[in-house]
Structure 1
Amino acid sequence: MRKKMLATGLAILTTFAVSADAHDFKAGTIEIKHPWSKVAPPVAPVLGGYVTIVNTGSEPDRLLGGTSVIAERVEIHESKTENGVAKMRPLKDGLVIGPGETVNLEPGGSAHIMFVKPSKRPAAGEKFAGTLMFEKAGAVNVEFAVQAMGEQPQKVEDHQSHQN
């Protein structure tokens, strides 16, 4: 009986621990799942931001950029390899999220969020505020969870939704 109660208690605590870190946001037909960033080195001139964006609507929307309390500006960047050389550049026209499409902005991926000239470098476990700007969904206030180097983000399906 005691083992069963202990197992039940641990299961409940585990559920609360997972859901406490989960943070998703929604505006119109756009779902923003687990915005996060890695801990940055003390002298880094930029920080990377990552997120999964789902467009549940029947029309495309476009992520144009954003703002953050910790950086001079927020840009959407594209990464490509040209002639064997990796290059990164801002997407001047933003990033299109097609109808019914899921776009992953992740480390090593083709696109990510760039926090330019950060004024603060939050530690692992902290969160910082930001706003992502979409062409149709508008401004969406989010929080970026800071994760230690090498730490993997939670699975998208483990997150809870917040209405914006």
Structure 2
Amino acid sequence: MDDYIRLVARPALARDLVSGYFTQQIGQSAEQVHAEHILVGTQELAEKLYQDALADPDSFEQLAQETSIDTGTAPNGGDLGWFTRGVMVEPFEDVAFSLAPGEISEPVQTQFGWHVIKVIDHAEDRALTDDQISQAAQAESTRWLDDQRASASISSEVEPTPTPSTDVFVPPA
């Protein structure tokens, strides 16, 4: 029974307490954006798609389906759904959260390629889904742990193993 408490119950309780703490810190609602995007490999193509989307904003989803290299969102017209800050890479996120609904961004470069972003809706205080809360709690706990690691100083109190001497021991005669 002691082994069960030590190996299973205590770690599970600690995980639940930590998860609950971070979930409480996050809250139940946050600023969110609902956006679509087109991801391509070159700036030239992104510029062309941007101009095409500006000329006919209703064609954005079709352009995403036909040209985006993001295989996860292209079939859905580039729809990313709702997301909070801290989910997308910074250059993408900065632009997405600065646009008004219906606006289309100029091409934005990230480590994934070139994006053209269209904001569908922007909510200052939208309820978070359970998945969003879980993702945010995980991200917050990872950030906290990284901060702890960065500020920790680790030292070893163990003496290093001595290396054997190259002198051969000769017993007295």
Same-fold call, TM > 0.5?
A: no
Higher relative contact order (CA 8 A, sep 6+): 1
The TM-score bracket by the shorter chain reads under 0.3
State the TM-score, normalizing by the size of structure 2.
Answer: 0.26
CA radius of gyration, larger in: 2
Tell me which protein shows more helix as a share of its residues: 2
Tell me which protein shows more strand as a share of its residues: 1
